[in-house]
């Protein structure tokens, strides 16, 4: 028999979106369960905002040295050790990770469950065979991915008109 949980809110996904909802719900004393199938912190902490800004910070240091001559400072970048840059990026992630950790959220009163959530029916989410969650409300915060618009022809659109031919809009539907 799976363990059956009945919180007010079940949040699926512990990225920036899901963590914010879970923390706010817990602050109001609302029983909340958070399910994450990958790393706590999601894209922002692990592959997005944090690593990209850490890498950019390293790049800015190199650029400042390379541009120093314009300020009358003789300097040049002798070497960029990408291993160390990589370590710096991961050190920054590790320094921030406790804010998004399972331990911190447990401490806030959120029950964090590791595993992939899937809807069994419209009122119940299962995590593996061991847990079922029948929450009053579900928050789906599972992130997003970019999607390319279909090619114009497949979308039933005519080719773009040239500028200045009086077309008011960029495209017209094919009859």
Ligand X SMILES: Cc1cc2nc3c(=O)[nH]c(=O)nc-3n(C[C@H](O)[C@H](O)[C@H](O)COP(=O)(O)OP(=O)(O)OC[C@H]3O[C@@H](n4cnc5c(N)ncnc54)[C@H](O)[C@@H]3O)c2cc1C
Burial 69-80 (b: 16+ CB within 10 A, else e): eeeeeeeeeeee
Q: Tell me which of 25, 35, 89, 139 binds ligand X, using CB under 6 A.
A: 35
Per CB under 6 A, 7 contacts ligand X: no
Q: Which residue has the tokens 């079940």?
A: 10
Sites for ligand X among residues 70-129 (CB under 6 A): 116-117
Nearer to ligand X, 62 or 116 (CB): 116
**158 vs 175: CA distance, rounded Å:** 10
Q: Tell me which of 17, 105, 111, 126 binds ligand X, using CB under 6 A.
A: 17
CB atoms under 10 Å from CB of 142, counted, come to: 18
The strand pair at 110-114 and 3-5 is best described as unpaired
Compute the least distance from the CB of residue 88 to ligand X, in Å: 16
SS3 32: strand
Nearer to ligand X, 6 or 52 (CB): 52
Per CB under 6 A, 43 contacts ligand X: yes
Binding interface with ligand X (CB under 6 A): 12-18, 35-38, 42-44, 48-49, 52, 116-117, 141-143
């Amino acid at each position: 028999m799976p363990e059956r949980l009945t919180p007010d809110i079940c949040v699926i996904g512990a990225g920036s979106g899901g963590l914010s909802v879970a923390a706010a719900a817990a602050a109001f004393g609302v029983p909340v369960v958070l399910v994450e199938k990958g790393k706590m912190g999601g894209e922002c902490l692990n592959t997005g905002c944090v690593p990209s800004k850490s890498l950019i910070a390293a790049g800015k240091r190199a650029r400042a040295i390379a541009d120093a001559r314009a300020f009358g400072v003789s300097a040049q970048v002798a070497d960029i050790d990408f291993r160390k840059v990589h370590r710096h990026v991961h050190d920054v992630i590790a320094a921030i990770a406790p804010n998004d950790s399972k331990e911190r959220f447990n401490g806030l009163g959120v029950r964090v469950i590791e595993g992939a959530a899937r809807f069994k029916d419209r009122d119940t989410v299962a995590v593996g065979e061991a847990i079922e969650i029948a929450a009053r409300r579900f928050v789906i915060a599972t992130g997003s991915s970019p999607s390319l618009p279909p090619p114009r022809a497949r979308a039933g659109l005519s080719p773009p008109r040239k500028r200045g031919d009086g077309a008011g809009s960029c495209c017209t539907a094919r009859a």
